[in-house]
A and B are shown apart, each in its own frame.
Chain A
Amino acid sequence: MTALTEEQTLIRSQAQSWAEQEAPVAAFRAMRDADTPNRFTPATWQSMVEMGWTGILIPEQYGGSDLGYLTFGLVLEENGRQLTASPLFASALVGASALLLGGTAKQKEAVLPKIVDGSEILTLAVDEGPRHAPEQTALKAEKTNSGYKLTGAKTFVMEGMAATTFVIPARTSGEAGDSAGISLFLVSADAAGLSREVMHTADSRGFARLDLSGVELAEDAVLGTADEGLELLESILDRARAGLGAEMLGTASQAFDMTIDYLKTRVQFGKVIGSFQALGHRAAILFSAKELARSCVEAALQAIDEGADNVAELSSLSKARVGEYLYNMSNELIQMHGGIGMTDEFDAGFYLKRARVLETAFGNSSYHRDRYARILGF
């Protein structure tokens, strides 16, 4: 592994001060209380676009800065700390990755500049049931004279209400469970036959359910090679998992810092509770686990940037390890804060709820332990 460059450290500290000042958890609370449509504030999203974050992965010829996944991860981590709500991850990381990995020159030219300037919001709609299982894709794509016709449903679609274009894996041949026969499509949100519905998740973020009843698409809506899309889909998902790992690390790190602050200030039995060894040791164990999780997160992002051949293995390692850490840390956040942690007035609950949602997204820890084992042939 290599250490962060000066540029990366600088970008991280800019992201940190921006998130703390412009989009802190208090802004998230205000957004939730106001029941803001799409579950993010347009002005917040606009500043992200202006800061160039939407172009971090995108080559300069399409208006981006091409700084790579590790750099993107640092920005997501700082946003994760403040629970900053935006489509940055769904569109500029997952959506951009889909185009970068599978797009034709024409598709890239059409979409990437719009991801950068924020006029398009992309998202990947992969899951069809309560468990993440890409090879189980069943949404049907029938061949027509002019292209394809899509019929089926997708669920748990991140930023699904705000998205302008969906990346949708569908089955062009074979049956659910087959690794062959999956194709990826770019589908406009205003395509005839596509409807969407809000899913109110515990973390007050934007998710949607999609229904496609005979959505007609042209031939050039296919992303990558028809019938052979699973490999492309997994590559996109690995980038999503690695990126989400960074956001989760930020969320967990903030939960950790809040807990340590509380241990240093809360007095019971005439003493600061952090002086009790039972709590001090739990804090030490959580700190050590955080350092180990960080190594996995950075290793996965670096592997993507370096084009290494173990991206799948490291992405599963990262998602599983940071998922376990966030799970433990969010529970300890509540437990060590005691009664105050249970109140809605305090922020701890936001972190706990967000934790579980992110743990579930793109495969939970158990999914990724199994996947990691399969990659090792075990």
Chain B
Amino acid sequence: MSAEGLNGFAEEVADWVADNLPEGLKGKNFGLAMDPSISMDDLTTWRDRLAEKGWGAPTWPVEYGGAGLSHPAAKVISKELAKAGGFNPIPGMAGMGVTMVGPTILEYGTEDQKQRHLPGIASGKVRWCLGLSEPGAGSDLASLSTKAVDAGDHFVLNGQKTWTSGANISQWCGALVRTDPDAPKRDGISFVMLPMDDAGVETRPIQLISGASPFCETFFTDARADKTDLLGPLNEGWSVVKRLLQHERQSQTSAATGSVEGESLQDMAKRYIGTSEDGSLADTDLRTRIIKHLMDDQAHKLTVARITAEARGNVEVSAAASILKNSATHVAQSKSELSLEIMGSQGIGWEGNGFTDAELDIVRGWLWGKAVSIYGGSAEVQNNIISKNILGLPETTQQG
């Protein structure tokens, strides 16, 4: 689509949104902290209208529930939605479906798999979770031990997964399992997909340092995954998951520095701490550290913009994903730490009347944010990827 085409398209989208976005959803927050006043009926109506246009996953082909649009055109949709105070609820409602599983199915799936799974994801009606980490396989994911034994037309799964986000509310799961126990560790792994209502699947939510969380433990006891739901070739699940994780890093890069825009850190600091006569923050040491953070934040955003421009608007998963994941994480975590420090003793509350809701949210967010440098490949794993895959430094002696 040309620049003019995009402008025309933007108008078309704006008109459609004006006609279709339910009044009750305008300006509401949807995401980790969903506005409790959002009506489920409104949400379902809005989801279905978007899905009908294929705008839940606009870059996917039309035959699988997408709209077959280019990345710049998809961006136009999100921009116009934001302008009208709306949001696209489908990626959130599909769990890991739109951001990770779907793109991987598009790349590795059979025609049958694409037809059976993608439309459900693109409509936001089928939520997916991912069974990757295990209690004994975190950063060293390839040491996983959940077994899948060949039983003719299906596999029988036994083992435990952990950090399965949204497992208790998902309908489907993509799981990394060991199909050849005798092969070297990365070579005996496969990626299977199975329904969560199978009798052999059990989930248990995990309580975190920040309180309740979307994470679960997921137990497979003779759970069944059909062979028609093996994604990619048998015993080549490691390649599939590497690609899937690149999609994950890509989506986290935009998420970590995205939406939550309230009071700026500078204004907040002035409010809690006060200013000197010249209008600068009274605490000069903290001022310097806040400025370093603001520069980190701007440098990160400029880098996302530069890499996007260099990719000619088509940000495919790339080597840059590891750099951006670490930098987004650093920016988000240091913002939380600085916010806490700015609030002083108001920044150590857990609950109750002595603290505002905003203060309590920041404390919970600070604790929750510690997860960001651990999940999706820890900061250390990203640095391994950069040093080996980008810089070409030799493998460490330990097989990573």
How far, in Å, is B380 (CB) from chain A's closest CB?
Answer: 7
Q: Decide: B291 and A369 in contact? CB cutoff 8 A.
A: yes
Interface residues of B in 282-334 (CB under 8 A from A): 287-288, 290-292, 294-296, 298-300, 302-303, 305-306, 309-310, 312, 320, 323, 326-327
Residues of A within 8 A of B323 (CB): 287-288, 291-292
Chain A CB within 8 A of B208 CB: no
The CA of A374 and the CA of B387, in the complex, are separated in Å by 38
How far, in Å, is B257 (CB) from chain A's closest CB?
Answer: 13
Tally of A-B Cβ pairs under 8 angstroms: 117
Number of A residues contacting the other chain (C-beta, 8 Å)?
40
The CA of A2 and the CA of B309, in the complex, are separated in Å by 5
Contact A373-B287, Cβ < 8 Å, known A2-B309, A263-B393, A277-B396: yes
Residues of A within 8 A of B384 (CB): 277, 280-281, 284
Q: Decide: B386 and A284 in contact? CB cutoff 8 A.
A: yes
User: Does more than half of chain A's interface fall in helix, strand or loop, or is it mixed?
Assistant: helix
Which of A277, A284, A295 makes the CB contact (< 8 A) with B305? A295
Q: What residue in chain A is nearest B309 (Cβ atoms)?
A: A3
Interface residues of A in 327-378 (CB under 8 A from B): 369-370, 372-374, 376-378
Q: Decide: B306 and A1 in contact? CB cutoff 8 A.
A: yes
Chain A CB within 8 A of B390 CB: yes
User: Does more than half of chain B's interface fall in helix, strand or loop, or is it mixed?
Assistant: helix
The CA of A285 and the CA of B385, in the complex, are separated in Å by 11
The CA of A56 and the CA of B36, in the complex, are separated in Å by 58
Q: What residue in chain A is nearest B284 (Cβ atoms)?
A: A370
Interface residues of B in 339-387 (CB under 8 A from A): 380, 382-384, 386-387
Which of B288, B327, B391 makes the CB contact (< 8 A) with A369? B288
Question: Which listed segment binds B: A75-83, A144-152, A182-190, A268-276?
Answer: A268-276
Q: Decide: A292 and B299 in contact? CB cutoff 8 A.
A: yes
Residues of B within 8 A of A294 (CB): 303, 306
Which of A2, A4, A295 makes the CB contact (< 8 A) with B303? A295
The CA of A272 and the CA of B391, in the complex, are separated in Å by 14
Q: Decide: B396 and A317 in contact? CB cutoff 8 A.
A: no
Residues of B within 8 A of A212 (CB): none
Instruction: Write out, one digit per residue, whether chain A residues 32-58 have a CB within 8 A of any chain B CB (1) or not (0).
Output: 000000000000000000000000000
Residues of A within 8 A of B320 (CB): 291
Chain B CB within 8 A of A260 CB: yes
Which of B310, B312, B327, B393 makes the CB contact (< 8 A) with A288? B327
Residues of B within 8 A of A239 (CB): none
How far, in Å, is A276 (CB) from chain B's closest CB?
Answer: 7
Chain B CB within 8 A of A237 CB: no
Which of A264, A284, A369 makes the CB contact (< 8 A) with B295? A369
Residues of A within 8 A of B397 (CB): 271, 275
How far, in Å, is A315 (CB) from chain B's closest CB?
Answer: 13
Q: Decide: A280 and B396 in contact? CB cutoff 8 A.
A: yes
Contact A378-B287, Cβ < 8 Å, known A275-B397, A280-B387, A298-B306: yes
How far, in Å, is A91 (CB) from chain B's closest CB?
Answer: 29
Q: Decide: B396 and A283 in contact? CB cutoff 8 A.
A: no
Number of B residues contacting the other chain (C-beta, 8 Å)?
43
The CA of A274 and the CA of B390, in the complex, are separated in Å by 13
Residues of A within 8 A of B303 (CB): 291-292, 294-295
Contact A376-B266, Cβ < 8 Å, known A276-B396, A280-B396: yes
Contact A280-B393, Cβ < 8 Å, known A288-B323, A369-B288, A376-B266: yes
The CA of A285 and the CA of B292, in the complex, are separated in Å by 17
Chain A CB within 8 A of B280 CB: yes
Chain A CB within 8 A of B281 CB: yes
Most buried by A among B269, B280, B306: B306
The CA of A291 and the CA of B386, in the complex, are separated in Å by 12
Contact A378-B266, Cβ < 8 Å, known A260-B393, A275-B395: yes
Interface residues of B in 211-254 (CB under 8 A from A): none
How far, in Å, is A375 (CB) from chain B's closest CB?
Answer: 11
How far, in Å, is A281 (CB) from chain B's closest CB?
Answer: 5
Chain A CB within 8 A of B152 CB: no
Chain A CB within 8 A of B258 CB: no
Q: Decide: A373 and B393 in contact? CB cutoff 8 A.
A: no
Chain A CB within 8 A of B388 CB: yes
Chain B CB within 8 A of A296 CB: yes
Chain A CB within 8 A of B392 CB: yes
Residues of B within 8 A of A260 (CB): 391, 393
Q: What residue in chain B is nearest A325 (Cβ atoms)?
A: B299
Beyond A281-B380, A284-B386, A373-B280: 13 further Cβ-contacts under 8 Å? Answer: A3-B310, A264-B394, A275-B394, A277-B396, A280-B393, A281-B387, A283-B387, A288-B326, A291-B323, A292-B323, A296-B299, A296-B302, A376-B294
16 contacts between A and B (CB under 8 A): A1-B305, A260-B391, A274-B393, A275-B396, A277-B396, A279-B393, A283-B387, A287-B386, A292-B327, A294-B303, A295-B305, A369-B288, A370-B291, A378-B269, A378-B280, A378-B291
